[in-house]
Chains A and B, each alone.
Chain A
Amino acid sequence: MIDVLYFAWVRERIGVPREKLDTTAVTVRDLIAELVAREERYELAFADLDSLRVALDQELSSFDAPLAGVREVAFFPPMTGG
């Protein structure tokens, strides 16, 4: 089981802030493909990966990163702090 978190408009499009998923995905990209195949709201949220960022266990990462050993995946738009 892996915790998947969503922030900002990604959260709004998917409709939940977090969920626990059973997945066989090897990379982040595989996980996204699994989600997109599930329901339209995921397709909507992941339509443009250039406008998304991913963090693995709270560290910024890349879509090709492996998920082995990862407990928490977070998807969000580019950050706007400060």
Chain B
Amino acid sequence: MKLQVQAEPFDLGAESNAFAAGVLGAGAVVTFTGLVRDNGGALAAMEIEHYPGMTEKAIAAMMDQAMVRWSLADALVIHRYGRLAGGEAIMMVATASRHRADAFAAAEFLMDYLKSRAPFWKKELSADGAEWVAARDEDEAALGRW
């Protein structure tokens, strides 16, 4: 398992390749990447705040759960914080399993939990000022399916 919470950008291709190269025996790798939406050019930047310590603990717990539930060969989560521009990658998830259904389900599970249970807060900065992104009811409701 690999978990990184970092301010620096990450190399999506290199991370994906390294992950896939390390999961001999798995037949499926699923990766998901979250990008900063630029809101049609209106977004100047996104600032992501987090709770050092709790962030790592909360994500590691989700990953442990996913590893067991879907018998994953491996899992990876990279999540950034700090100031990001439109189009930049915020985070990525990768899962590997024997067959694809488990890797897809585990990736979705991790995404749903990261959205609502990992202590990150996003703030959008635009010409009109700064605004905290509100949590969406759909995101909270999505946890119910697991």
Q: Which A residues form the contact surface with B (CB < 8 A)?
A: 5, 7-9, 11, 55, 58-60, 74, 76-82
Q: Is B51 an interface residue (CB 8 A)?
A: yes
Q: Which B residues touch A80, using CB under 8 A? A: 115, 120-122, 132-135
B13 at the interface (CB under 8 A from A): no
A-B contacts besides A80-B135, A81-B117, A82-B91, 6 pairs, CB < 8 Å: A7-B121, A58-B51, A58-B53, A59-B57, A79-B121, A82-B114
Total contacts A-B at CB 8 Å: 68
Which among B54, B90, B120, B122 has the highest number of chain A CB atoms within 10 Å? B54
Q: What residues make up the interface of B, taking CB atoms closer than 8 Å to A?
A: 34, 49, 51, 53-54, 57-58, 79, 90-91, 111, 114-123, 132-135, 140
Complex contacts, A81 vs chain B, CB 8 Å: 79, 91, 114-120
B116 touching A78 by the CB < 8 A rule?
A: yes
- Determine the chain B residues whose CB is within 8 A of the CB of A79 once the complex forms: 115-121, 135
Alpha-carbon gap, A14 to B134, bound state (A): 19
Nearest 6 pairs of A and B residues by beta carbon: A78-B135, A81-B120, A8-B121, A58-B54, A81-B118, A82-B115
CB-based contact A76/B121 at 8 Å: yes
Interchain CB contact under 8 A, B132 and A77: yes
Output the nearest chain A residue to B56 by Cβ-Cβ distance. Answer: A58
- Contacting residues, chain B, for A76 (C-beta < 8 A): 51, 119, 121
Residues of A within 8 A of B90 (CB): 82
Interface centre among B53, B119, B122 (most CB of A within 10 A): B119
Measured in the bound complex, the distance between the Cα atoms of B122 and A9 in whole Å is 10
Chain B residues in 8 Å Cβ range of A74? 51, 54, 119
Complex Cα distance A78/B117, Å?
8
A16 to B34, CA, bound (A): 30
- Select which of A5, A9, A58 is within 8 A of B132 by beta carbon: A9
The complex places the Cα of A59 from the Cα of B117 at a distance, in Å, of 10
Which of B51, B53, B118, B132 interacts with A82 by CB under 8 Å? B118
From residue A48, how far is it (CB to closest CB) to chain B in Å? 13
